[in-house]
Structure 1
Amino acid sequence: MTAELDHLVHAVPDLLAGVAAFAERTGVTPVAGGRHPGGTANYLVGLGPTAYLEIIGPDPEAAGPRPRAFGLETLAEPRLAAWAVRAGDIDATVRQAREHGYDPGDVQPLSRRTPAGTLLEWRLTRREDPAAISPVPFLIDWGETAHPAASGLPQLRLVSFTAIHPDPEALHHDLAALDAVLEVAKGPEPALEAVLDTPAGTVTLR
């Protein structure tokens, strides 16, 4: 069974400024998702009933060093940094991927609290990877938690989602190990590109 798109990760160096710029560019204002224990926070926009776009950055209310997640520690410009897929059985998918030569990392618990105070909990794979952009998705399992896309988010339509990679064949191999499907074009450096249909016209995130 093909893994299903869960969400896209748009990383920004300044969360509130990044959200304001996104709203101006698309005509849709993201809603606050919540704060993560690791020093990040996010805003969300729906991409239909089962997927969403996450805008993530350093938590403006948190003290301390910049978080490392999604390259935020050194991030200077917004970028589409990663994506997540849902698998029917996250533990079985990890075992399958390793058998096929790709290690997605261990499954770990994570959580965030919504502005209304509701605690959301999920499990995901974490892979130690120095790459600034991750064209291979991480796996996520929401368990008993209601999926964020079902929370009445403002909506945009995802027209297309593709990867650029210097070795498309190698990337396709890693994607296949996760039962993930993504169109891949050849290019000098890894990148992700999402084309959105918005009230302000077609917008491309990269």
Structure 2
Amino acid sequence: MAEIDHIVIGARTLDEGAAYVEAHLGARPLPGGKHEGIGTHNLVMGLGPDCYLEVIAPDPDQPAPAQGRPFDLDDPSVALMLEAGPHLIGWVARTPALEAVAARLGPAVAGEVKAWKRGTLSWRMAMPPQRQDMRNLIPSLIQWDDGQGAAPRLADSGCRLVALEAEHHDVDALRQALAARGLEEALKVRRSPHPRLVARMMRADGTDVALASG
């Protein structure tokens, strides 16, 4: 069974992303590192022992990768959205059987399984190709090589992900895609003419906050 591993905030720069998270959640994410060869770098913030928040942005010290940066960061519509400010742009689900799921779905749907590494962390990940991800409502799948991943290593910010919600005009297709990945219980799905991902958060002081992709 897959489960939510982390949520992803996209930003033009990490400084903009850090300021956004601090303004909304009252806590500042910490340096993560570079994704060498991917063209991005990140910040991270613990949301408890099983989940965390990632801020991802293009890394100006790396050339743009041939196949584009993850989470559609190079897509003109996403770049335009991030010009206005950081946004929730996606999420990643943890699975103990990445290769099996990816093989069953096929690379045209699940994406190609690739090995990643940052510092002492290593993992394998499959990112759905653009337009197969239903505007990033379908998550990338990750399997951590140590079986635990980043969340248990991070300082607890006191913030929590209360619920993750997805809005789309074709809720049947969305539910089927989630179920194919063992994620039918992970999200609340609602019908809407405009695709949108919503993270219902609780700050350390108990205040409820909603972060949305649009």
TM bracket, shorter-chain basis: 0.7 to 0.9
Q: Distance in 2 between matches of 1:6 and 1:63?
A: 26
Amino acid across the alignment from 1:40: T
1:161 and 2:164 matched: yes
Q: Distance in 2 between matches of 1:7 and 1:167?
A: 24
Structure 2: which 5+ runs fail to align? none
Report what 1:109 is aligned to.
115
What is the TM-score of this pair, normalised by structure 1?
Answer: 0.85
Contact residue 110 and residue 129 of structure 2 kept, 8 A: no
Report what 1:147 is aligned to.
149
- TM-align CA RMSD: 2.2
Amino acid across the alignment from 1:10: I
Q: Distance in 2 between matches of 1:45 and 1:127?
A: 24
Q: Cα distance, 1:194 vs. partner? A: 0.2
Report what 1:93 is aligned to.
101
Q: Cα distance, 1:7 vs. partner? A: 0.9
Q: Percent identity?
A: 33
Report what 2:135 is aligned to.
133
Matched length: 196
Q: Distance in 2 between matches of 1:65 and 1:93?
A: 29
Q: Cα distance, 1:154 vs. partner? A: 3.4
Q: Cα distance, 1:13 vs. partner? A: 1.6
Amino acid across the alignment from 2:190: A
Report what 1:188 is aligned to.
193
Report what 1:45 is aligned to.
45
Q: Distance in 2 between matches of 1:132 and 1:171?
A: 8
1:59-81 per-position Cα deviation (integer Å, ceiling 9, x unaligned): 25x15459632222242322222
Alpha-carbon spacing, 1:65–1:132, altered in 2? closer, same or farther (3 Å): farther
